[in-house]
């Protein structure tokens, strides 16, 4: 299978750093020389710095960007430069040469901040492999655990880079142990650091059994040397460990290892790739992106160990008509199937829909069907995104990533299909927004622009929703956390020039039922000639452990309610549970057992049964002693030991439950479960409490019952 390798020359120089390039096809290469990878990590572990260095060494940028100076290639969003965190996951295409072959690498930078997990989810969904970056001092941080679990869910093969080897307190083997223990994973060093902290100078390659050392300021040049004497024994020990691990996964390595025969680097690389693809082990490398050491071997490992789209021979899809799951073989000759995984709007180019091509080829001029809407969409122009610049291309091949310009009515997560195929790819899972603000435009002129801006922003970000409160008529903007919403409001002001006033933050509570209730509802209305009639007997029960939504059990015998009415009863309960009887919040889960009822020959309509379910739910739910559930967050604080008392005391006052206290490389690590309602402006308060020396990471944990004593105070506070 051939894919096109492109070289460009600038045609037009446009504003805002965008260039349109004229294409000259120079060279062909194959799909197995393509890598779609993500860089995942806890915020601040060094993803952006690592990516910048990788782009510099692969020749895409000619100047090294620096996060601290706010001039990196990946951070194209002005908000990001300002906050120093990566909000959007920009996709960048670059090229790398290894053993005389050219490889194309599409890098998706995934953000590490918890408020932006949707970005992480969507990038993991379209990637074939990932580099997980950990800090050599801080080790496994909560966000790395969250992202790790997400990557497990999407079965993404990984390699690990332990970054910041130059930092005070850097300890490679401690971090490897932490990764093995806390992430329950078979992380195996394929390198050892040479020195640490100020004296970190390079790495020992345990496959080639050579030292790699960097010289020069920008890290572009490096050379191989013999392993320093003092590290020889360690290197032997860890190479043996690596060989033993690979022997468990490869028979040929096992045989040679047992027979004490020489094993070549090539053989080890093949075994390593197979084991990484099967996720039997995760190779661990190390370096210091900031000090420009250790980056190139990680890019080599991306090419050597991580899969190409050719390794993904089938994908799970659902037939649109029947919703039956089927395995679809990927092929360049099959009809096109792609996933719209990210939408970005740019003032100059317009709306860019980022698409991963799973099978077939995407061509400019194609007409596709959006599986969600069933409507046709026309592909006018396709581009390849190289961060701040884009290049027009004629087609994007199987396995590759590109952007379609100007698609209408396409949302993140939509499947696009070519002619002759009607399927949907598996849906992306996004967490529900947990917090909202009532917003209103500052001036009437801002009103129309606000509507347009919000519709653009919600198209781009599936964890952002806009609701109209039916009682007050207010517009409620909901998102994943305070920071998420703050970023959105700032975007509204700076990019869309819409100023809004915001109300108090409102938590998305849920309701639950505490005890079963048996109930009968009879709807009987007579207006002149025709009437309405529905009669249902049902039991409302609390939902089971881990259940979301409605479980509906139809126990009607002898057709006392004819079959065609049953879906309407179910629909009625489904709608009714969106508004609980305690404070109008939706029910997290509910079980309904419909066991008896009757109809009237003439007066019963489908709609009457829906209405009866509504009334029945409203009356019965009140009798089941309903309670309130609130989002509870896991808060991890890293603080110098002297502030431990102050931090735990404050967490206790916030209804926090301390789960663990332990010392790690950065100081005291406190993990607590704290209701979201008690966490407003927590980061600011923590800063004051600890003279700015502690840091906190807040991740969603679960919905938990609110103690009865405080339900009423929470409700008055939030409304
Ligand atoms: P991200 O949030 O994971 O993208 O991390 P960044 O790349 O933005 O880096 C966070 C901070 O760590 C910045 O101040 C970087 O300069 C710094 N940093 C990144 N890599 C290294 C490294 O290898 N060593 C040291 N000492 N600092 C680093």
Task: Read off the pLDDT of residues 653-670 as tens digits, 9 standing for 90 and up.
Answer: 999 999 999 876 667 889
Secondary structure (3-state) at 231: helix
- The whole-number pLDDT of residue 329 equals 87
User: Do 674 and 637 form a contact (C-beta atoms < 8 A)?
Assistant: no
Separation of 304 CA from ligand 1 center, angstroms? 25
- The whole-number pLDDT of residue 197 equals 95
Nearest CA to ligand 1 atom 19: 46
Any idea which residue has 């806009």 for tokens?
Answer: 466
Task: Pick out the chain residues at pLDDT < 50.
Answer: 1-29, 70, 73, 75-89, 112, 114, 717-719
For ligand 1, pick from 50, 67, 113 the residue to mutate: most ligand atoms within 8 Å of CB: 67
Partners of residue 635 on adjacent β-strands: 672, 698
- The whole-number pLDDT of residue 58 equals 81
CA pair distance 657, 704, nearest whole angstrom: 12
- The whole-number pLDDT of residue 81 equals 42
- Counting atoms of ligand 1 from 1, which one is nearest the CA of 50? 7
CA pair distance 669, 335, nearest whole angstrom: 52
- The whole-number pLDDT of residue 2 equals 33
CA pair distance 363, 102, nearest whole angstrom: 24
The Cα-based distances of 83 to 66, 132, 479 in angstroms read 14, 22, 18
- The whole-number pLDDT of residue 511 equals 94
Separation of 48 CA from ligand 1 center, angstroms? 7
Separation of 687 CA from ligand 1 center, angstroms? 21
For ligand 1, pick from 46, 135, 193, 288 the residue to mutate: most ligand atoms within 8 Å of CB: 46
User: Do 4 and 394 form a contact (C-beta atoms < 8 A)?
Assistant: no
CA pair distance 695, 496, nearest whole angstrom: 32
Separation of 138 CA from ligand 1 center, angstroms? 12
Nearest to 105 by CA among 52, 56, 54, 34: 34
b or e along 209-236 (b: 16 or more beta carbons within 10 Å of the residue's beta carbon)? ebbbbbeeeebeebeeeebeeebeeebe
- The whole-number pLDDT of residue 495 equals 81
CA pair distance 665, 137, nearest whole angstrom: 6
Partners of residue 29 on adjacent β-strands: 3
Secondary structure (3-state) at 461: coil
Separation of 45 CA from ligand 1 center, angstroms? 6
Using CA atoms of 497, 340, 60, 132 in order, give the dihedral in degrees to the nearest 10: 100
CA pair distance 704, 226, nearest whole angstrom: 58
* Number of residues that make up the chain: 719
For ligand 1, pick from 44, 65, 89 the residue to mutate: most ligand atoms within 8 Å of CB: 44
CA pair distance 350, 408, nearest whole angstrom: 11
- The whole-number pLDDT of residue 429 equals 65
CA pair distance 468, 478, nearest whole angstrom: 11
- The whole-number pLDDT of residue 322 equals 80
pTM: 0.71
CA pair distance 189, 241, nearest whole angstrom: 9
């Amino acid at each position: 299978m051939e894919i096109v390798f492109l070289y460009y020359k600038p045609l037009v120089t446009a504003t805002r750093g965008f260039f349109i390039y004229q294409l000259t096809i120079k060279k062909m290469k194959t799909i197995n020389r393509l890598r779609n990878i993500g860089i995942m990590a806890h915020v601040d572990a060094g993803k952006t710095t690592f990516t910048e260095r990788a782009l510099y060494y692969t020749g895409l940028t000619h100047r090294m960007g620096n996060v601290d100076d706010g001039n990196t290639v990946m951070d194209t969003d002005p908000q990001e430069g300002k906050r120093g965190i990566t909000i959007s996951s920009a996709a960048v295409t670059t090229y790398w040469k290894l053993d005389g072959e050219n490889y194309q690498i599409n890098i998706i930078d995934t953000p590490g901040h918890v408020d932006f997990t949707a970005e992480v989810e969507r990038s993991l969904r379209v990637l074939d492999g990932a580099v997980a970056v950990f800090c050599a001092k801080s080790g496994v941080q909560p966000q790395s655990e969250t992202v790790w679990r997400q990557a497990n869910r999407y079965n993404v093969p990984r390699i690990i880079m332990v970054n910041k080897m130059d930092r005070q307190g850097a300890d490679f083997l401690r971090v490897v142990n932490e990764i093995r223990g806390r992430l329950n994973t078979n992380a195996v060093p394929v390198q050892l650091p040479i020195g640490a902290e100020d004296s970190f100078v390079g790495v020992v390659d345990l496959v080639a059994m050579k030292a790699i050392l960097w010289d020069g300021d920008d890290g572009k040049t490096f050379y191989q040397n013999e392993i320093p004497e003092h590290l020889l024994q360690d290197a032997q020990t860890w190479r043996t460990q690596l060989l033993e691990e690979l022997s468990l996964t490869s028979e040929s390595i096992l045989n040679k290892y047992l027979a004490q025969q020489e094993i070549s680097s090539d053989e080890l690389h093949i075994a390593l790739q197979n084991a990484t693809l099967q996720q039997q082990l995760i190779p661990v490398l190390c370096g210091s992106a900031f000090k420009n050491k250790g980056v190139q071997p990680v890019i080599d490992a991306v090419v050597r160990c991580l899969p190409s789209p050719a390794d993904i021979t089938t994908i799970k899809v659902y037939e649109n008509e029947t919703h039956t799951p089927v395995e679809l073989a990927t092929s360049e000759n099959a009809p096109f199937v792609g996933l719209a995984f990210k939408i970005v709007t740019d003032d100059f180019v317009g709306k860019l829909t980022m698409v991963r091509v799973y099978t077939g080829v995407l061509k400019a001029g194609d007409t596709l069907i959006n599986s969600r809407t069933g409507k046709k969409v026309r592909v006018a122009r396709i581009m390849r995104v190289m961060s701040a610049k884009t290049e027009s291309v004629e087609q994007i091949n199987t396995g590759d990533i590109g952007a379609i310009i100007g698609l209408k009515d396409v949302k993140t997560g939509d499947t696009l299909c070519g002619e002759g195929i009607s399927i949907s790819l598996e849906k992306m899972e996004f967490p529900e927004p947990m917090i909202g603000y009532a917003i209103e435009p500052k001036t009437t002129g801002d009103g129309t622009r606000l509507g347009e801006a919000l519709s653009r922003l919600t198209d781009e970000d599936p964890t952002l929703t806009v609701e109209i409160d039916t009682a007050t008529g207010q517009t409620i903007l909901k998102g994943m956390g305070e920071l998420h919403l703050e970023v959105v409001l700032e975007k509204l002001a700076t990019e869309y020039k819409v100023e809004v006033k915001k109300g108090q933050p409102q938590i998305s509570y849920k309701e639950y039922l505490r005890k079963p209730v048996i109930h009968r509802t009879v709807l009987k209305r007579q207006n002149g000639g025709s009437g309405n009639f529905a009669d249902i007997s049902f039991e409302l029960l609390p939902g089971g452990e881990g259940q979301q939504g409605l479980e509906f059990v139809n126990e009607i015998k002898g057709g006392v309610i004819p079959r065609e009415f049953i879906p309407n009863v179910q629909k009625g309960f489904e709608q009714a549970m969106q508004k609980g009887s305690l404070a109008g919040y939706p029910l997290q889960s509910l079980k309904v057992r419909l066991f008896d009822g009757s109809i009237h020959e003439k007066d019963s309509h489908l709609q009457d049964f829906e209405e009866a379910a509504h009334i029945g739910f409203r009356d019965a739910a009140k009798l089941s002693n309903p309670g309130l559930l609130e989002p509870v967050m896991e808060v991890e604080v890293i603080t110098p030991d002297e502030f431990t008392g102050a931090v735990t005391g404050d967490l206790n006052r916030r209804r926090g439950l301390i789960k663990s206290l332990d010392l790690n490389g950065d100081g005291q690590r406190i993990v607590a479960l704290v209701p979201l309602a008690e966490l407003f402006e927590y980061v600011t308060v923590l800063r004051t409490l600890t003279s700015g020396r502690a840091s906190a990471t807040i991740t969603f944990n679960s919905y938990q019952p609110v103690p009865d004593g405080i339900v009423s105070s929470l409700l008055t506070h939030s409304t």
